[in-house]
Amino acid sequence: MEFNKFILLLLISSPLLSFFAEAICVPRNASNPEATRPAVALGPASSFSSAAPTQAPLPPTVPSPSPPVSPEPSPSILSSPSSNYALTKICGFTDYPAECIAAISPFLTGTTDPISVLKMGMQALHQIFEEAVAVATKLNKDPSSSAVVKDSLDTCLESFDSGLSDLNDALLAISSHDIGRLSTLLSATITYPDTCEEAFSEQPGLDSPMKEMDRKLTTLASINLAIAASLHWS
């Protein structure tokens, strides 16, 4: 009889035990479906590639080469095309047209009639005579210059002084339209550098230190004489 009661109690209590077992196993928030989803573990943010495409680095900017600089044209030695033509024409009467243009152009004042050009040529010759005097004087005072050289330089200095004086007189001859005297004075200026060179050539083995200066004087004196000969006096 006791055994039957035990079996009966066991059968009655089985459903209750199952109920209590389910109550214990179901979590408290079972009513929330989101809570039952397993959590997703995210890795570090750096592990994701960026959504925006990565821009390739731009190539270095290469500066464009600067355009070649054209050399500045050298200014003409003449003041204007018209004076260029006039001076070229006048210097064409001489044996040294290029030297004539080079020597006279620094003295151009805008007037290029033949008489004005002649006066400019005489001014250029006067300047070279002054330079020759300065060179000869310096050499004459140089202690290293021998007595023979100094004697020759004295002759040169006398000749150069005469050239300066003749040029001053030649300007007066132009003003008075004295063609004969002008030609005589300008012809004399050619002889003075020759006299200087002869003073050195008369001494055996003596080389002239005034050679280059005398060459310039002779050339320009010849130019002035040729311009004067081409003049047409009114």
Residue 33, pLDDT > 90, answer no
Tell me if 37 is assigned to some domain. Answer: no
Residue 90, pLDDT > 80, answer yes
Tell me if 216 is assigned to some domain. Answer: yes
CATH number of the domain to which 195 belongs: 1.20.140.40
CA–CA dist 132, 167 (Å, integer): 15
CB under 8 Å to 117, separation ≥6 — which residues? 86, 87, 90, 104, 227
100 contacts 71 by C-beta, under 8 angstroms: no
Tell me if 135 is assigned to some domain. Answer: yes
Tell me if 36 is assigned to some domain. Answer: no
105 contacts 229 by C-beta, under 8 angstroms: no
As a whole number of Å, the end-to-end CA separation of the chain is 181
Tell me if 70 is assigned to some domain. Answer: no
pLDDT at residue number 205: 85
Please tell me the total count of domains within the chain. 1
pLDDT at residue number 111: 85
Rounded to 10 deg, the angle between the 81-91 and 114-141 helix axes is 70
Tell me if 90 is assigned to some domain. Answer: yes
Condensed to tens digits (0 to 9), the pLDDT of residues 39-82 reads 333 333 333 333 444 444 444 554 444 444 433 333 333 344 55
Residue 183, pLDDT > 90, answer yes
pLDDT at residue number 109: 85
pLDDT grade, residue 113 (50/70/90)?
Answer: very high
Give the residue numbers spanning the domain of 155: 81-230
Condensed to tens digits (0 to 9), the pLDDT of residues 192-232 reads 999 999 999 998 888 999 999 999 999 999 999 999 999 87
Is the model more confident about 7 or about 179? 179
